[in-house]
Structure 1
Amino acid sequence: MADRERLTTTAGAPVSSNQNSKTVGPRGPVLLEDFQLIEKLAHQNRERIPERVVHAKGWGAFGTLNVTEDVTKYSCAKVFRPGAKTDMLARFSTVAGEQGAADAERDVRGFALKFYTEEGNWDLVGNNTPVFFVGDPYKFPDFIHTQKRHPRTNLRSATAMWDFWSLCPESLHQVTILMSDRGIPTDPSRMNGYGSHTFSIWNDQGERFWVKFHFKTQQGHAHFVNEEAEKVIAKSRESYQEALYGMIEDGRFPKWTMYIQVMPEGEEVQFEEKTGWSAFDLTKVWPHGMYPLIKVGEMELNRNPENYFSDIEQSAFNPSNVVPGIGFSPDKMLQGRLFSYPDAHRYRIGTHYDALPVNKPKSPVHHYHRDGEMPFGLRTNPDAYYEPNSFGGPVEDPSVEEPPHRYAGQVGRYDFRGETDHYSQPRALFEMFDAGQRERLCANIAGAMQGVPQFIVDRQLAHFDKVHADYGAGVRKAIEVQTRDDAEASLSTSHSAAAE
């Protein structure tokens, strides 16, 4: 025992016994003065924090971003300097499922990255898809409600999902990806990551560019079809955690190549005239033929967390965490997330969530935020607790001011949904699929539509018809096959019961 550390209370006092509670005699009641017991029970009651409303089930690891190319003509951010090596954290997740959900369910995957740069944390919070279901944050809470449990049945509702999607044709692109072979990656290392939103970057001359961030897997794409995923889930609900943790423990570090698409500021006007949609519309992609991928470097994950709860569950990613040289755009969904993400963290973790070790920048932190819940290790000049002051407190640095934004002042409630082409990009994706991929896509949709009222099914089928005649026809055929198979299975069951 001499070489073991002493067990203590949270206040540092040594504990004489950790085996039995203090009682009046061997059979007597427990004493309230057993403060060590009270402390243990109280901490156990508080071991959990609220799970994320979305992206509750996640897996993560630490690593590095190595910049191998020169993109300084686009951005002055120090994280992009040639040869720069930046420590980082990645968290992957499913969107809809709760913490106990199975990893291999059909769902969009979150792809959140935190870069601990020398000028503060840069967080890139995206998905494994380049688009999303909706393009306006006004509809985001409504969409998420359709992915969660019905208030009366407490079950997931296919009717709610398809009712919403059929009334929001901008969702077609993402729905097609989700229901295709791409809907269930085999593990986090076998999928791409995207910033998804349009961001902005600027160079030392103050020239602004709109940008899309891409992370292409070097492990190659791999996906499960429904039957394969069902077998995996039957054996383990933690297949992603097992795969990611195991790869890194074995020294098989997963890697992604980082790329950007770049559009000079002002060119978005011609882009919209040419394509029919906004460059800031999250439900659309920028064609690579117009804006080719530009290589930046390589991301590698090479260290598992020491404590999952501290490093992954308490990790907090904010699109609002940017550094000089990286900024935002008029992307409506991005603007909404700039508020909702840090607000969610303040509720879920606490006022000073960004002072937790996993969230704390590795660069110096100086601000005037005071007090509140758990101000971890804040050490400030006691006389400089306001600004401006005459006591040496931190001051602003005008040199990192973002260049003027050309969209400032154009305030209003604009609706892009009624006038935008929501069908050509899903059409291009559908036309990329071979016959087998199309058949599985349509079968997946038919299966997901089971129990949905016919008028909702018909409304969604009309959207598929506008994408491609074979898309609508394929889903109709798959529904007919599904209906016939269900009827035959029901009849067979009835005959078996009668024979018995």
Structure 2
Amino acid sequence: MNAPPRLTTTAGAPVSDNQNSLSAGPRGPLLLQDWSLLEKLAHQNRERIPERVVHAKGWGAFGTFRVTQDLTDVSCAHLFADVGRTTPLVARFSTVAGELGAADAERDVRGFAVKFYTEEGNWDLVGNNTPVFFVRDPLKFPDFIRTQKRHPRTHLRSPTAMWDFWSLSPESLHQVTILFSDRGIPLSPRFMNGFGSHTFSFWNAAGHRHWVKFHFKTQQGHRHLTNEEAEQVIGRSRESFQEDLYGAIERGEHPRWTLYVQLMSEAQGERIDFNPFDLTRVWPHRSFPLREVGVLELDRNPDNYYAQIEQLAFSPSNVVRGIGFSPDRMLQARVFAYADAHRYRLGTHYESLPVNAPRCPMAHYHLDGSMRADVPRYGVGDNAYYEPNSFGGPVQDPSFREPPLALQGAADRYDHRLDQDHYAQPGALFRLFDDGQRLRLASNIAAAMQGVPEEIVARQLAHFSAADPNYGRLVAEAIASSGRATST
């Protein structure tokens, strides 16, 4: 067996004694000159960084994406260039509301984020395990998140705040219905779908644009927990997702998802009778069928969770040639908010961290600030630290320019403030459920409404009834049978 490496300080000096502090005699006080002790204590005090405000509790792994179907007619993205092409990636799954120490098996929406290390830069597809969200205007997002966090006085979760917000935001009904359905508590990340959720855009080599929705379909099948099963799981372990994902990959049971897209031409977007950029609604599959793209496989656990998952940073602003944005209001705000959150949490140069750094060459003129770890050397004589310059520094490449995003057309036809059809899709989803699924949905909602004031319950019941009379009736009956009476 080889001798172990020598213990040193962060400056490289060998440590002679890591068992005893330096003191002025056997009973004397410790000495300030004990630099080894001071370094250890100072580093321990700084071993935590701010946790994510949203999606704090997460689980992740590395893998690959392999193209199985030709997509070059709609996108010139390099990772889709050839059937069989593989791209390395890292994925992170998460809960939305829970803090870093929350239980994994809580009823919550799950984040589903993938960083593709392409040869033309990183592409971050940052979505959820649901195709829709609670709100469609980013101005409401901070208020919504506050209802999911702790009450400022009691420091407890507040069902009243949660249902008050939802009952005053009827566009949330679609997501609420999904959240309290059977799929509200996945058994682990392996057994849930993922979605880009937003409407993005593809553009091809000719500069033609399509609107696109991304769907990751699990190849492991869907497995979910009831409230009662989740309570048993949490009683055994608060880390059930991490245990399952990590253990499966270690055993060689590599989870896979098939990536599909829904495509809508710009011309179709101008003719349809709904807003294709509304995050609270789905595109009907009958009109916009799924088209297979490839397979995502996770085959390697991180070597160090903190370095490779906790410091992992995704942002929808990370796009590559052939993939772009849309007039989706929530997406437009996330393009700013996500990168800004990482600069606060990790540091100005967070994308220089190994897990966030692109695998292709990069060159930029961003200077100084926290997390500046490299020494950029561009051009002649290190004189190229601004642009334009005469010293051979990095220059723009117009061939990567995205086609102009039309400001007139589909997005211009809809005013989300006037669009009041909050109920058609939640009602259709409710009617897709069988009798058992409907009863469990109603029971889950009733359990989550315990302690909520009657006027808020009544307001929310009106939304359920507007989606489908039986929806409102079943929830009201479940509430009554749970021991609290309410008006319908």
Helix, strand or coil at the partner of 1:130: coil
TM-score of the pair, normalised by structure 1: 0.94
* Cα distance, 1:266 vs structure 2: 3.0
SS at match of 2:296: strand
Aligned partner of residue 297 in structure 1, secondary structure: strand
CA distance in 2, matches of 1:253, 1:411: 41
Inter-partner Cα distance in structure 1 for 2:126 and 2:103: 22
Aligned to 1:498: none
Matched AA of 1:182: R
Q: Mean Cα displacement is larger for which, 400-409 or 86-95? A: 400-409
The aligned counterpart of 1:390 is: 390
Q: Indicate the residue corresponding to 2:321 in structure 1.
A: 324
One-letter code of the match for 2:283?
W
Alignment map for 1:197-276 (pairs within 5 Å): 197-271=198-272, 273=273
Amino acid at match of 1:227: E
Aligned-pair CA distance for 1:420: 3.4
Matched residue SS, 1:267:
helix
Could you tell me whether the CA contact under 8 Å between 2:270 and 2:409 is conserved in 1? no
Paired residue type of 1:374: M
Q: Using the TM superposition, give the Cα deviation of residue 4 of structure 1 relative to its aligned residue in structure 2, in angstroms.
A: 1.4
**Residues of 1 paired with 2:2 and 2:205: CA distance?**
60
Instruction: From the superposition, tell whether residues 435 and 445 of structure 1 become closer, same or farther in structure 2 (CA, over 3 Å).
Output: same
**Cα separation, partners in 2 of 1:247 and 1:337, compared to 1, 3 Å:** same
Which of 351, 359, 364 does residue 367 from structure 1 map onto?
Answer: 364
**For residues 392 and 304 of structure 2, what CA distance do their matches in structure 1 show?**
38
C-alpha contact (below 8 Å) 2:263/2:288 kept by paired residues: yes
Match of 2:56 in 1: 56
* Range that drifts further, 58-67 or 380-389: 380-389
Q: Is the CA contact 1:114–1:123 (under 8 Å) kept in the aligned structure 2?
A: yes
**Structure 2 partner of 1:354:** 351
Task: State the Cα distance separating 1:294 from its structure 2 match.
Answer: 0.4
Cα distance, 1:65 vs structure 2? 0.3
**Structure 2 length as normaliser, TM-score?**
0.96
How do residues 121-200 of structure 1 correspond to structure 2 at under 5 angstroms?
121-200=122-201
Q: Partner of 2:245: helix, strand, or coil?
A: helix
Aligned length: 480
- Mapped contact 2:327–2:411 kept (Cα < 8 A): no
Deviation at 1:424, TM superposition (A): 0.8
Which residue of 2 is the match for residue 493 of structure 1?
none
Whether the aligned pair in 2 keeps the contact of 1:214 and 1:260 (CA below 8 Å) is yes
Assess, with a 3 A threshold, how the Cα gap between structure 1 residues 321 and 408 changes in structure 2: closer, same or farther.
Answer: farther
Q: Cα offset for 1:400?
A: 0.6
Separation in 2, partners of 1:260, 1:411: 20
In 2: Cα distance, 1:178 partner to 1:378 partner = 48
Is residue 311 from structure 1 mapped to residue 308 from structure 2 by the alignment? yes
The offset of 1:376, in angstroms, is 1.8
What is the DSSP-based 3-state SS (H/G/I as helix, E as strand, rest coil) of the residue aligned with 2:261?
A: strand
Q: Hey, what does 1:427 align to over in structure 2?
A: 427
Alignment deviations for residues 249-283 of structure 1 (CA, whole Å, 9 cap, x no partner): 00000000000001111321212x2xxx3100000
Q: CA deviation at 1:225?
A: 0.6
Write out the 4+ residue segments of structure 1 that deviate beyond 4 Å after TM superposition. Answer: 408-412
The runs of 5 or more residues in structure 2 that have no matched partner are: none
- The structural deviation recorded for 1:374 is 2.1
Report the Cα offset of residue 342 of structure 1.
Answer: 0.5
1:403 aligns with 2:403: yes
Distance in 2 separating the partners of 1:63 and 1:417: 42
| Change in 2 beyond 3 A, CA 1:479/1:321 | same
SS at match of 1:440: helix
Q: Per-residue displacement from partner, 1:279-326 (whole Å, max 9, x unpaired)?
A: 000000000001000000100000000000000000000000000110
Aligned partner of 2:373 in structure 1 is 376
Q: Closer, same or farther in 2 for the Cα pair 1:27/1:408, shift >3 Å?
A: farther
In the aligned structure 1, how far is the partner of 2:218 from the partner of 2:469? 33
Q: Secondary structure at the match of 2:389?
A: coil
Alpha-carbon shift at residue 473 of structure 1 (Å): 0.3
The residue type paired with residue 429 of structure 1 is L
Alignment of 1:436-455 (within 5 A): 436-455=436-455
- Amino acid in the other structure paired with 2:114: L
Cα distance in 2 for partners of 1:9, 1:429 equals 60
Tell me the distance in 2 between the aligned counterparts of 1:58 and 1:411: 34
- CA deviations over 1:1-55 (Å, ceiling 9, x no partner): 9621111111111111111111111111111111111111110001011000010
Matched, 1:283 2:284: no
Cα deviation for residue 72 of structure 1 reads 0.4
CA deviations on 1:392-431 (whole Å, 9 max, x unpaired) are: 100000001001111179999x851442311111111101
Q: Which SS does the other structure have where 2:482 is aligned?
A: helix
1:87 and 1:410 map into 2 onto residues whose CA distance is 35
Q: Is residue 269–residue 410 contact of structure 2 (8 Å, CA) maintained in 1?
A: no
- 1:497 is matched with which residue? none
- 2:15 counterpart SS class: coil
Relative distance call for 1:441 and 1:409 in structure 2 (3 A) is closer
Provide Cα deviations, 1:161-210, integer angstroms capped at 9, x if missing partner: 11100111100000000011110000000000000000011000000000
C-alpha RMSD of the superposition: 1.6
Percent of aligned positions that are identical: 68
d(CA) in 1 for partners of 2:104 and 2:146? 21
Contact (CA 8 Å) 1:170, 1:417: kept in 2 or not? no
* Distance verdict in 2 for CA 1:266–1:311, change over 3 Å: same
The equivalent residue for 2:295 is 298
> Equivalents in 2 of 1:346, 1:425: separation in Å?
38
CA shift in 2, pair 1:249/1:135, >3 Å: same
Secondary structure of residue in 1 paired with 2:267: coil
